[in-house]
């Protein structure tokens, strides 16, 4: 089974590239983030025409997550308990419980949005208390946290910034510590692990990026291959994130 996660930064703006990517990469299960549209705005018919079932949670101009599957899709949850924004979608896909997450950005450490981000993480961790550890599970998406200093292009530039603070890292770690594997992709350009590059200042060209997207997977699931699909970040009209593509074998 091939699974993938991609922050598309608007499914509307990315539609031609998304459809092309689905046809060339042929993932079985896909988690999307930042669809930036409501239910009516999601290109359900176009995606279904490629053989996928669709679960989308979105309410307008910001956020929005989806799960696509061509190996069956049974919706499980459309909302993180206590959180109203559309940042969380869960579906069972071909025996794999699939969670698409778009963790709040945090903005700055003194912004209320930072506290909201940590609260959001805590709620996400809480959902695992009700999760059967024997059920193959993947939580994938945009976590807006760089797990280590090596996951940003220059840690010195991040003094006082979000995405690298100990509380954010501890929150991400708490998910892994529950019993999930942070799937390691093949090394990318310059042996860096990045999944996101700012649009500005030629950051992608200079490979000044961040690893803030993750595939957190049950250890019972075997990983055959994993890579960051940099090709999807190139050319005209890309998202600022690249997909992560992982080939797995379920137990």
Partner DNA sequence: ATGTCCGTAACCTACGGA
**Which parts of this chain interact with DNA (CB under 7 A)?**
9-10, 12-13, 36-37, 41, 60-62, 104-105, 107, 113, 154, 157-158, 161, 198-203, 208, 237
Which residue number, 98 or 162, has a Cβ lying nearer to DNA?
Answer: 162
d(CA 201, CA 221): 39
Which residue number, 15 or 71, has a Cβ lying nearer to DNA?
Answer: 15
Which residue number, 91 or 114, has a Cβ lying nearer to DNA?
Answer: 114
Which residue number, 52 or 120, has a Cβ lying nearer to DNA?
Answer: 120
> To the nearest whole angstrom, how small is the minimum distance from the Cβ of residue 69 to DNA?
24
Closest by Cα among 123, 201, 229, 114 to 164: 114
Closest by Cα among 153, 143, 163, 148 to 213: 143
Q: Cα-Cα-Cα-Cα dihedral of 61, 65, 69, 73, to 10°?
A: -110
Both tokens of 181, joined, read 């594997």
> To the nearest whole angstrom, how small is the minimum distance from the Cβ of residue 192 to DNA?
14
> To the nearest whole angstrom, how small is the minimum distance from the Cβ of residue 224 to DNA?
31
> To the nearest whole angstrom, how small is the minimum distance from the Cβ of residue 127 to DNA?
21
Which residue number, 133 or 202, has a Cβ lying nearer to DNA?
Answer: 202
* Sign of the torsion formed by the C-alpha atoms of 183, 28, 197 and 34: negative
d(CA 8, CA 80): 21
> To the nearest whole angstrom, how small is the minimum distance from the Cβ of residue 142 to DNA?
8
Question: Counting beta carbons within 10 angstroms of the beta carbon of residue 189, is it exposed (0 to 12), middle (13 to 18) or buried (19 or more)?
Answer: exposed
Residues with Cβ within 8 Å of 94's Cβ and at least 6 positions away in sequence, in order, are 1, 28, 29, 69, 71, 72, 250
């Amino acid at each position: 089974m091939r699974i993938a996660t991609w922050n598309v930064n608007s499914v509307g703006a990315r539609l031609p590239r998304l459809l092309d990517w689905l046809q060339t990469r042929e993932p079985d299960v896909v988690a999307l983030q930042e669809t930036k549209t409501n239910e009516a705005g999601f290109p359900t018919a176009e995606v279904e025409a490629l053989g996928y079932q669709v679960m989308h949670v979105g309410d307008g101009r910001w956020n929005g997550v989806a799960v696509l599957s061509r190996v069956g899709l049974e919706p499980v949850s459309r909302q993180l308990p206590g959180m109203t924004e559309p940042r969380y979608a869960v579906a069972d896909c071909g025996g794999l419980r699939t969670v698409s997450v778009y963790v709040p950005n945090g903005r700055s450490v003194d912004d209320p949005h930072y506290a909201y981000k940590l609260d959001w993480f805590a709620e996400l961790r809480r959902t695992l208390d009700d999760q059967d550890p024997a059920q193959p599970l993947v939580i994938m998406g945009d976590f807006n946290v760089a797990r280590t200093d090596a996951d940003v292009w220059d840690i010195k530039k991040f003094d006082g910034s979000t995405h690298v603070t100990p509380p954010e890292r501890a929150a991400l770690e708490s998910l892994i510590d529950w019993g999930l594997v942070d799937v390691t992709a093949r090394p990318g350009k310059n042996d860096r692990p990045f999944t996101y590059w700012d649009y500005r200042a030629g950051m992608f060209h200079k490979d000044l990026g961040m690893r803030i997207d993750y595939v957190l997977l049950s250890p019972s699931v075997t990983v055959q291959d994993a890579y960051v699909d940099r090709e999807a970040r190139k050319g005209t009209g890309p998202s600022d994130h690249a997909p992560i593509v992982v080939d797995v074998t379920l137990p």
